[in-house]
Structure 1
Amino acid sequence: MRYLILFFFLLNTQVIAAQETDSVKTIDPVTVTVRAFQQKEDITTAVVRRVEYAVPSSKSALVTAMNTIAGVRMEERSPGSYRINIRGSSLRSPFGVRNVKVYWGGIPLTDPGGNTYFNQLAFNNFNAITIFKGPASSMYGAGTGGLILIDPPAATKSGGGVEYFTGTYNAHHLLAEGTLTKDNYINTVTYAHDQSDGYRAQSAMQRNNFSWNTRMKWKNQELIASVLFSDLYYQTPGALTLQEYQQNPQAARPKAGAFPGAEQINAAIWQKTLTAGVTHKQKFGPYWSNTTTGYGAYALVKNSAVRNFEQRKEPHFGGRTVFDFDRKWGSTGLQWSTGLEAQQGYSTIRVSDNRNGRPDTLQTDDDVTISTYSIFTQGILSWKSWSYTAGVSLNRSRLQFTRLNAYPVTEQVFRYNNEVAPRFTVLKKFGPVDLLGTVSRGFSPPTVAEVLPSTTIINPDLKAEHGWNYELTARKSLWKGQLHLEATGFYFNLSQALVQRRDSSGADYFTNAGNIRQKGAELYANYIHFFPTGLLNYLNITANYAHSHFKYSDFMKTGQDYSGKWVPGVPMNTLNTQLGLALKPGIYTDVNYYTAAAIFLNDANAAQAPAYHLLGIKLGYRKPVKAVDINVYAGVDNLFNETYSLGNDINAAGGRYYNAAPLRNYYLGAAIGLRRH
């Protein structure tokens, strides 16, 4: 019976609040975008758009939305603790987001050390998220794990709204947003509050988030200023062994030998982040333009862990400037972009003994100076039904570690220089079918957290990973654009791949793993139909499937040969299907199904987490009354009540792999939106 239900719900959910009585503007959650490289359809990318005043899931709206995309996997080890995997890139992320470049309104959220606090973002901090799959080094510097471009809220008329929803595990969420426009001036402010007791013991979280964006235009210029602040506290229950997971998946990590339990030391993270930036855009005549961004950021992080108590202060600043040329001669067009990006950071990292959740005797005291820059250029030549892209970047980074508590004080310097990252694409349009071929090279130096992991032992032997990526994509539209189909095959040969390890205390450390061959296929289909007459308003159906055939080509470590083994942490198959169905009176339903195959948990492939199936359903009613949009809804997540682990600790000592996700849970919410015509 379960699989009949799953077959019936091969469908899509993303919609936006009604603007008129008998029309609903639908949002296609996965579309080809032009934003990343200024050329329509010359890249393999996808877009997640925010659903105005209608959160698709009370548990983790952003996690649900990101996992609608084939090849993208967002994990939540506990509320507030995120990881993002784009074609296997979470190999380097025991927690947080690494080796994925992230920008918010053109401002880097990825610090010069290679780390991104993605959990600082709230659901109303973005209008759209553009995800680039594969190396994006030809325009965005070092990285092999993909690129995420986040568009801040982008209302063009005065208005606002507030939404509140509550759910299982004492979850409470408040979203508020307001926009003021006048002439060529737009000012938007957002606030979000999220809190939950969590499914597991020692998994409570609370986050307060504020953002401000303003835009001013005059003649051929535009000035954009942005501020993003987040104050986040979340507890970290720790991973369980298989026996502990089976006996009580809600338990936090217990005391084991000399190491205390997670509850005993109040394992948690206190995180405050502040980012502010200004972007200036100017056109020089009909063909030339420039976009320049300058920013500053500060992160204050405290981490009470089983092994120690860590305190980090991480200020950094930087900028990016790009000159663009765009001209057409009949059926021929040329787009050319060139520029540079630079970042500088100064971090202090103090690690102490952990005495019942408070810092005690100092273990290490490190000053870290990080600098990185990238020079890039890329040209796109279009001629009739053909399009050719060629780009290249030159990347350099420098890390300096100074350990102040050891005498004499010594400095260790690491340089990763002169890595050239080219990219080539050819696009051919055959009527309704597009074929796109891509060859690109990615380069990614170790992050600060990998050279100096939570073991506090500096690893001078880590090397940068790099590799060549090959892709072929076919796209086709049918039935007057109502049905969109897309298929992508890729092969990424990654050398010196960085892989995580965990010791008996749960502390992570890293090693180069030789070569990894990442082969895969991604399929996407979307059908959207509007009904001009009758009771139905629209039907929107989407399906995304990814097959990941990732294996170690050659990997020897500590006398063990892992060559030919499957890369851990990546399900071989994932499928997401969605349904969005709305009636003209205002009743709507959203259905979301996600399944992932079994996942290997260590390099030896000796343990694995089983496959799981998730089904979420939401039923709501929205009604525009003059200038007010009203929306009420209720829903359920994990309808099948599956016990599963979301965000496994890969290669953990003692078999501590499992972080249990919530069982069946419910939510209820309401939203009011005000708009000005």
Structure 2
Amino acid sequence: MKRRMIIAAMGLSLTAAAQSDTTTLQGITVQGYAQQRDLSTIPGAVSVVRGQDLQRFGPASLVPALNAAPGVRMEERSPGSYRLNIRGSSLRSPFGVRNVKMYYHGLPFTDPGGNTYLNQFSPAVFTSLEVLKGPGSSLYGASTGGVLLGDRPFENTNSLSAGYTAGSYGSHLATVSGTFGTARFRQQAVLSWQESGGYRDHTYMRRYVAGWSGRYTASEHSAIEAHVLAGDLFYETPGGLNLTQFLANPRQARPAAGAFPSAQGAHAAIYQQTVWTGIKWEYRWNEHWEHSAGVYGAWSGLRNPSIRNYEKRNEPHAGARTMVTWKKGPWRVLAGAEAQTGNFRTRVSANSNGMAGILQTDDRIRNGLLSLFMQSEAVLDGGWVLTAGLSMNGARTVIRRVSETPVFRFASSYDKEWAPRFAVLKQFSNWASVYGVVSKGFSPPAVAELLPSTSVINTDLQAEKGWNYEAGARGGNSRFRYDVSLFRFQLKDAIVGRRDASGADYFVNAGATVQQGAEVSAMYQPAAFLGLRAAWTFHHFRYDSFSQQDKSFDGNRLPGTPQHALAASADVRLSSSFSLFATWQYNDDIFLNDANTDKSAAFNLLGLKAEYKVRRKGWEGRLFAGAENLLDETYSLGNDINAAAGRYYNAAPGRSIYAGFAVQLGK
């Protein structure tokens, strides 16, 4: 049956059609690894999600667009609760995004504690996302799970856009954005309001996002950019279900069990606010020397009444990144530094009907990261590109539990962690660029792993590190492009998350893992009105050596990652005004615990979107409607790995529809 479903969906994707007139298969310029060249000459695994890729789906979520990229898995446990998995990195993420370093407009967005609050972004904030797969430590600091670069490039036209979308389960999204200014001083702004009743009980979500960016070009040699982002998010957390509960009623929230209340009884929820601001200066001294420097400051506040307790976090942090580049002829050398520091406070109290009760723990956390890096590159005759990079990384976290007398103090420190990266590419023709990469990754425990929601400080947790070996090929022309990557990542002391009976998370080192696989994507445009895309991910991830409490997990599959994932889309422009977008995604079954005794079933997701576009002088309008999960699959998107009592499952929405409009003035 599974095989018939896959074949049927593949047939639909190849025959149902759809390509918007905004999408062509021209060269894609990427910023990753500071190379700023066409993707065909980049020696490394990179996936790019652009505006036309987001256009295939409803505007309310980035999840389906990122999941269409090979090697990337974004999960949504409930509206507003995201996880991002790049080649298996969500082992460390029971919630949120960890072990993935994110940059926003070229400056760090991931805090020095290792958390990335991706849920503070509205999809409208981005017009470009780059996913760098494999360790990025040689240039981006401590991370083994990959790098995410988010951007909204400045436009040269003055315009104002507004849109509204409504859909199933009480979902609403309204956005307003604009670009304005002079050639010398460009500005852009975005406002977003989003609300969802949620598919499950106790999953209401509300989010406000406001962003502003400005770029002042002082001269042909100098420019200054400034960016501000503010987000206010609230969402209820329904909790995980065991298999019996999931099959009986996947829409229910976690019921009461033993001494623990239900999710609704505990008023379990997340209240979160973030303000982030950054300034970046770029200067070109002459044809050989360039310099960029930027600083940022941010604050995040979080309140989390949960089934176990009531947590309050106050997380101010700041950082800087600077880089000097020299280039002459085929040679390019850059050197720079990145530093971050934070001064966090976490207070945990008893949960008294959704209010903070008796104080249990009060922790003051100082954390800091420092990365010094250098990279040299030569683009030689004959299609050769040689890259060598090296970084030295340091990290320090100090936790003081001031609620105890005497005050308990714990320090975790890592110094002189070297992370090299060597890459070579040979471009034989437009149809064949072949590359190889050897790199090392390093990632210390995040603050939320040293101090998880159990409130027990983990004094034994070690940093994970490992070597990645990769080979790939890509090429094509304006009608057809392909990209193939093969990799083997050997990780030591891999950090793995677990959950206790209350749903609180804690972490252990898992000895060694071997993560190897293949990632393939292709794009084909046989006619001007038709475009086809496909992606296949094969992840053969295993524990190499991991034993705990007299149990050996050697050779078991890593939980949380499907072995096979496929995505396909077909876009048809039926006329200059009307387009159809058909998408299909398949995920293999997933093991849910280290012992590989429990797993979630495979699922197919089928989506369809229709769009009607009207263009007139000075404005453009779009009407669209679509449906997701047309097969009405019952599945879990965001499993709680290694959860006690088998409470793994967080049901995703069933069949849903949406419709909306967007208007742009000044087009």
- For normalisation by structure 2, the TM-score amounts to 0.96
- AA matched with 1:627: G
How far the C-alpha of 1:530 sits from its partner, in A, is 4.8
1:164–1:172 CA contact under 8 A, matched in 2: yes
- AA matched with 1:118: L
- AA matched with 1:342: A
2:95 aligns to what? 95
2:518 aligns to what? 521
Change (3 A) 1:441 1:32: farther
How far the C-alpha of 1:52 sits from its partner, in A, is 9.9
Give the 3-state SS of the residue equivalent to 1:169 in structure 2.
Answer: helix
Aligned pairs, number:
656
Give the 3-state SS of the residue equivalent to 1:606 in structure 2.
Answer: coil
Alpha-carbon distance in 2 for matches of 1:398, 1:66: 32
1:14–1:27 CA contact under 8 A, matched in 2: no
1:73 aligns to what? 73
Structure 1 runs of 4+ aligned residues shifted over 4 Å read 1-5, 11-16, 27-32, 51-55
Q: Could you list the per-position Cα deviations for residues 193-237 of structure 1 after superposition, in whole angstroms to 9, with x for gaps in the alignment?
A: 110100000101000000000011122001000000000001100
Alpha-carbon distance in 1 for matches of 2:526, 2:105: 32
After superposition, where does 1:386-405 map in structure 2 within 5 Å?
A: 386-405=384-403
How far the C-alpha of 1:311 sits from its partner, in A, is 0.3
1:37 aligns to what? 34
2:118 aligns to what? 118
After superposition, where does 1:195-206 map in structure 2 within 5 Å?
A: 195-206=195-206
Change (3 A) 1:175 1:184: same
- AA matched with 1:365: D
1:261 aligns to what? 262
Q: Is 1:272–2:270 an aligned residue pair? A: no
- AA matched with 2:13: L
Give the 3-state SS of the residue equivalent to 2:139 in structure 1.
Answer: helix
How far the C-alpha of 1:496 sits from its partner, in A, is 0.4
Give the 3-state SS of the residue equivalent to 2:169 in structure 1.
Answer: coil
Q: Could you list the per-position Cα deviations for residues 21-73 of structure 1 after superposition, in whole angstroms to 9, with x for gaps in the alignment?
A: xxx22166995724433154222101111249957125x53001111100000
Q: 2:541 aligns with which of 550, 554, 570?
A: 550
- AA matched with 1:191: L
1:54–1:671 CA contact under 8 A, matched in 2: no
Sequence identity, in percent? Answer: 41
Give the 3-state SS of the residue equivalent to 2:34 in structure 1.
Answer: coil
Change (3 A) 1:492 1:540: same
Q: 1:610 aligns with which of 587, 598, 601?
A: 601
1:316–1:346 CA contact under 8 A, matched in 2: yes
2:18–2:530 CA contact under 8 A, matched in 1: no
How far the C-alpha of 1:281 sits from its partner, in A, is 0.2
Alpha-carbon distance in 1 for matches of 2:384, 2:182: 43
2:134 aligns to what? 134
- AA matched with 1:549: H
Q: 2:491 aligns with which of 491, 494, 497?
A: 494
Q: Could you list the per-position Cα deviations for residues 306-339 of structure 1 after superposition, in whole angstroms to 9, with x for gaps in the alignment?
A: 00000000000010000011221xxxx0111110
Alpha-carbon distance in 2 for matches of 1:224, 1:236: 37
How far the C-alpha of 1:481 sits from its partner, in A, is 2.9
1:594 aligns to what? 585
Q: 1:366 aligns with which of 346, 363, 383?
A: 363
How far the C-alpha of 1:630 sits from its partner, in A, is 0.9
Q: 1:511 aligns with which of 508, 512, 535?
A: 508
Alpha-carbon distance in 2 for matches of 1:246, 1:102: 37
Q: Is 1:165–2:162 an aligned residue pair? A: no
Alpha-carbon distance in 1 for matches of 2:129, 2:349: 38
2:272–2:300 CA contact under 8 A, matched in 1: yes
After superposition, where does 1:208-357 map in structure 2 within 5 Å?
A: 208-219=208-219, 220-328=221-329, 333-357=330-354
Tell me how large the CA RMSD over aligned residues is.
1.7
Q: Is 1:644–2:635 an aligned residue pair? A: yes
Alpha-carbon distance in 1 for matches of 2:19, 2:181: 25
2:19–2:573 CA contact under 8 A, matched in 1: no
1:439 aligns to what? 438
Alpha-carbon distance in 2 for matches of 1:53, 1:576: 14
1:53–1:161 CA contact under 8 A, matched in 2: no
2:54–2:62 CA contact under 8 A, matched in 1: no
Which residues of structure 1 form unaligned runs of 5+?
17-23, 532-537
- AA matched with 1:230: G
Change (3 A) 1:667 1:572: same
Q: Which one is further off, 506-515 or 522-531? A: 522-531
How far the C-alpha of 1:475 sits from its partner, in A, is 1.4
2:470–2:487 CA contact under 8 A, matched in 1: yes
Q: Is 1:632–2:630 an aligned residue pair? A: no
Alpha-carbon distance in 2 for matches of 1:183, 1:653: 59
Change (3 A) 1:32 1:526: farther
1:55–1:61 CA contact under 8 A, matched in 2: no
Give the 3-state SS of the residue equivalent to 2:245 in structure 1.
Answer: helix
Q: Could you list the per-position Cα deviations for residues 112-132 of structure 1 after superposition, in whole angstroms to 9, with x for gaps in the alignment?
A: 010010000101111200110
1:445–1:463 CA contact under 8 A, matched in 2: yes
2:603–2:633 CA contact under 8 A, matched in 1: yes
Change (3 A) 1:15 1:186: farther
Q: 2:418 aligns with which of 420, 427, 435?
A: 420
Alpha-carbon distance in 2 for matches of 1:165, 1:354: 36
Q: Could you list the per-position Cα deviations for residues 139-172 of structure 1 after superposition, in whole angstroms to 9, with x for gaps in the alignment?
A: 0011100000111253221002101010001111
Alpha-carbon distance in 2 for matches of 1:217, 1:375: 29
Give the 3-state SS of the residue equivalent to 2:33 in structure 1.
Answer: coil
Alpha-carbon distance in 2 for matches of 1:410, 1:7: 59
Q: Is 1:581–2:572 an aligned residue pair? A: yes
Give the 3-state SS of the residue equivalent to 1:36 in structure 2.
Answer: helix
2:25–2:481 CA contact under 8 A, matched in 1: no
2:154–2:187 CA contact under 8 A, matched in 1: no
- AA matched with 1:232: L
1:15–1:51 CA contact under 8 A, matched in 2: no
How far the C-alpha of 1:9 sits from its partner, in A, is 3.1
Alpha-carbon distance in 2 for matches of 1:153, 1:238: 38
How far the C-alpha of 1:470 sits from its partner, in A, is 0.4
1:30–1:47 CA contact under 8 A, matched in 2: no
1:21 aligns to what? none
2:563 aligns to what? 572
- AA matched with 2:590: I
Alpha-carbon distance in 2 for matches of 1:150, 1:282: 22
Q: Is 1:430–2:431 an aligned residue pair? A: no
Q: Which one is further off, 389-398 or 427-436? A: 427-436
How far the C-alpha of 1:607 sits from its partner, in A, is 0.1
2:152 aligns to what? 152
Give the 3-state SS of the residue equivalent to 2:342 in structure 1.
Answer: strand
1:342–1:374 CA contact under 8 A, matched in 2: yes
Q: 2:10 aligns with which of 7, 10, 18?
A: 7
Alpha-carbon distance in 1 for matches of 2:54, 2:495: 40
1:19 aligns to what? none
How far the C-alpha of 1:584 sits from its partner, in A, is 2.9
1:53–1:672 CA contact under 8 A, matched in 2: no
Alpha-carbon distance in 1 for matches of 2:243, 2:53: 41
Alpha-carbon distance in 2 for matches of 1:588, 1:324: 44
Change (3 A) 1:370 1:30: farther
How far the C-alpha of 1:528 sits from its partner, in A, is 2.3
1:620 aligns to what? 611
Q: Could you list the per-position Cα deviations for residues 249-291 of structure 1 after superposition, in whole angstroms to 9, with x for gaps in the alignment?
A: 0000000000000001111000000000100000011111011
- AA matched with 1:275: W
2:472 aligns to what? 473
Give the 3-state SS of the residue equivalent to 1:642 in structure 2.
Answer: coil
Give the 3-state SS of the residue equivalent to 2:13 in structure 1.
Answer: coil
How far the C-alpha of 1:523 sits from its partner, in A, is 0.8
Q: Which one is further off, 611-620 or 377-386? A: 377-386
Alpha-carbon distance in 1 for matches of 2:258, 2:117: 32
- AA matched with 1:106: G
1:53–1:163 CA contact under 8 A, matched in 2: no
1:348–1:368 CA contact under 8 A, matched in 2: yes
